[in-house]
Amino acid sequence: MDVDLPNETEQLVLLALVRLGEDAYGVPIRAEIERRSGRAVSLAAVYAALERLELRGQVRSWLSEPVAARGGRARKHFEITPLGAKAVREAREAMTRMWKGLEMHPDLRRRT
């Protein structure tokens, strides 16, 4: 493993970027995470994760053309890089290895 593995929030952000494609900017990223994961996430947490991911080269950003609906301000869009795709795949593989053989462990069985 030669890439920094993303934490849980960063993984959710990376996966949201893949799902959203060109429409990936703060608010839709947050909405996608909440809709698919069922967990609340603050916009501040999304942007903090994006900043960390960009510093590691796992995400890149660009500014859109100004949007009239926002008073002429541009939106900052994000996309996953090949390094980010590798990182999220490796994180998934690591978790799969950790779960292997534990599915039926008494401590991990579903309890109501």
82 vs 70: CA distance, rounded Å: 31
Q: Which residue has the higher pLDDT, 105 or 96?
A: 96
Classify residue 48 by burial, with Cβ atoms within 10 Å: 0-12, 13-18, 19+: middle
**Whole-number average pLDDT of the chain:** 92
Classify residue 38 by burial, with Cβ atoms within 10 Å: 0-12, 13-18, 19+: exposed
Domains of the chain, earliest start first = 8-108 (1.10.10.10)
Q: pLDDT value at position 64?
A: 85
Q: pLDDT value at position 109?
A: 76
Query: Binning pLDDT at 50, 70 and 90, where does residue 3 land?
Result: confident
Classify residue 32 by burial, with Cβ atoms within 10 Å: 0-12, 13-18, 19+: buried
The model's pLDDT over 47-66, given as tens digits with 9 standing for 90+, comes to 999 999 999 999 999 998 88
